[in-house]
Structure 1
Amino acid sequence: MRLLLLTSVRTAELRGATWKEIDFNTATWIIPIERMKMRRPHIVPLSAQAVQVLEQIQKITGTKAADDHLFPNVKDKSRPMAATTINAALIRAGFNNERLFRAHGARGTFSTWAHEQGFAPLAVERQLAHVEKNRASRAYNKAELLPERRKMMQDWGDYLQSVSG
């Protein structure tokens, strides 16, 4: 759940993540096109807090091979964890009402925070892997806005750390 909050990716993107997608040297996670809802690769800048969580995950799971899932299925390590696992954990934590919070709500929480902090709307949308609705703009503007997104994600990581104690 912590990595989901720190990266603001969709739950399917998180569940299917493999170690070959993570570049610790550049603190970047590149989700390939075949795993993305909008069918374009997605670059996720990783905050220092996200990198720390990834390092902890490696220690816990012992998985480091390129094709290993970050979150392997407990019954079959060649598959990712089940689609219901994250929301089931939230239910066990007491968030048992759909209106309270579900995993997808992490994206809305991040988006609201980022807009309130004054980050460029296009940078926020790129971070959420949303595509431009205007076909002409989508065809011409391929900017990833990585410098602003790196700052945004580090500020977000710092904010989450400050409120979690």
Structure 2
Amino acid sequence: MGKLTATKIRALSEAGRHSDGDGLFLEMNGKASGRWFLRVQSGGRRRDIGLGSLKSVSLADAREAASIIRKKIAQGIDPVAERKQERLVIPSFREAAKSVHEEHKEGWKNGKHQQQWLTTLETYAFPSLGDLPVDEIEGPAIRDVLAPMWLSKPETARRVRQRIAAVLDWSCAKGFRATEAPMRSISKGLPRQPKKDGHFAAMAYVDVPGFVAELRTRVSVGRIALEVLILTAARSGEVRGATWSEFDLDKQLWTVPAERMKMGRTHAVPLSTAAIDALSRAEQFRVGASDLVFPGQNVKRPMSDMTLLKILRDMDLGVTVHGFRSAFRDWVAERTNYPGEVAEAALAHTVANKVEAAYRRTDYLDKRRLLMQDWGLFCGGEGGAGAGEKS
């Protein structure tokens, strides 16, 4: 039997704590004003759990609530954690994905990645997972999203898997679900994907001059962009996002800002005579509403990477745009006397050896000027005359 009664409570007029027994207390703030709380031992420490105000919770209700909490503690249930979970509004997978994208996109330097991250989920995951609360998504549902494309679109499937995992791991960290994504078990439930050699399909460097000559037989913004990409050995995104303000044609230099570089460091690209000639032909596509060198259909946005790939496909060539960087690297190794580190600097690759990277202070700009001039001559069918070419 408790120590308090309804009559005793009505008679209380001073502030203070009054025990009903077995950890149940009424804390008075003044006459007819107070709150109920239960003092318990949970997880090896003392905790006070609020049960509500005296105005809204009667003595009988407080005793019943205290009894329920004691039973839960005896069963190993944390009543405080349970309350917090009940108060949480569990988002749908779609809502969580948009939150993850919004929180992380500024940390992704690649603009293409920023856009594709959410688009990929919208296309492949949202139709079946989009409306499900994140705490209800388990392995079988994720596997069913991946299975139809696991062998037919292996690279896309792996990206979707990674992005679903990122959303569910974020949800776990926010307290919306009890566990991270069960990706290990999902992988076990999918067939083994065929292995690839990991290299981009590249054109043989000996075929590049003929390809460049073919490019120049017709004039389009896409063809000129692809020519500049080849002549500068740059990545697709660096070329497509290039602005006229990045170029100093008098100094024959293109400075790509850090935020547009894969490694997050500013990269200076020496421009050969051939590259400057290609840029002069790009001037005809310049519009006042945009500073982009190679605008897309919307002149305020860069051209799509598919524009460059379509040129190669229309010529029935089984190579990738990125593969021209490999062709450049092969040419340097096989046809020139330039050191490998100069070629790696031209490709804006980082130094793998951390000790060497710590002491290297040069970007070989002067040597790269000669290298890119020789590459431009080679691409134009004039190979053999450069200072760095092997005799």
Is the pair's TM-score, using the shorter chain for normalization, greater than 0.5?
yes
SS of the counterpart of 2:299? Answer: coil
Name the structure 2 match of 1:155. Answer: 374
Bigger Rg, which one: 2
Name the structure 1 match of 2:303. Answer: 81
The Cα offsets for residues 86-130 of structure 1, whole Å up to 9 and x where unpaired, read as 1111101211xxxx3111111000001012212111100000000
Name the structure 1 match of 2:339. Answer: 120
Among 268, 272, 294, the alignment partner of 1:43 is 268
Q: Identify the range of structure 1 (131-140 vs 149-158) with the bigger mean alpha-carbon deviation.
A: 131-140
Contiguous gaps of at least 5 residues in structure 1: none
Q: Bigger relative contact order, structure 1 or 2, given CA contacts below 8 A and separation 6+?
A: 1
Alpha-carbon separation, structure 2, partners of 1:44 and 1:64: 25
Among 306, 323, 340, the alignment partner of 1:105 is 323
Contact (CA 8 Å) 2:308, 2:321: kept in 1 or not?
Answer: yes
Name the structure 2 match of 1:31. Answer: 256
**Percent identity of equivalent pairs:** 36
Contiguous gaps of at least 5 residues in structure 2: 1-225, 384-391
Contact (CA 8 Å) 1:58, 1:64: kept in 2 or not?
Answer: no
> What TM-score does the superposition give when structure 2 sets the normalisation length?
0.39
Name the structure 1 match of 2:293. Answer: 70
> What TM-score does the superposition give when structure 1 sets the normalisation length?
0.90
Distance 1:63-1:120 versus aligned 2 partners, 3 A rule: farther
Q: Are residue 20 (structure 1) and residue 252 (structure 2) matched?
A: no
Contact (CA 8 Å) 1:28, 1:45: kept in 2 or not?
Answer: yes
Contact (CA 8 Å) 2:270, 2:372: kept in 1 or not?
Answer: yes
Aligned residues: 157
SS of the counterpart of 1:162? Answer: coil
Contact (CA 8 Å) 1:5, 1:107: kept in 2 or not?
Answer: yes
Alpha-carbon separation, structure 2, partners of 1:3 and 1:157: 10
Name the structure 2 match of 1:143. Answer: 362
Distance 1:80-1:4 versus aligned 2 partners, 3 A rule: same
Q: Are residue 93 (structure 1) and residue 281 (structure 2) matched?
A: no
1:163 CA drift (Å): 6.5
Q: Are residue 8 (structure 1) and residue 219 (structure 2) matched?
A: no
Name the structure 1 match of 2:106. Answer: none
Among 48, 51, 56, the alignment partner of 2:281 is 56
Distance 1:92-1:163 versus aligned 2 partners, 3 A rule: farther
Distance 1:58-1:93 versus aligned 2 partners, 3 A rule: same
1:62 CA drift (Å): 2.6
SS of the counterpart of 1:29? Answer: strand
Contact (CA 8 Å) 1:7, 1:46: kept in 2 or not?
Answer: yes
1:133 CA drift (Å): 1.1
Alpha-carbon separation, structure 2, partners of 1:115 and 1:64: 42
1:139 CA drift (Å): 2.5
Alpha-carbon separation, structure 1, partners of 2:287 and 2:364: 32
Name the structure with the higher strand share: 2
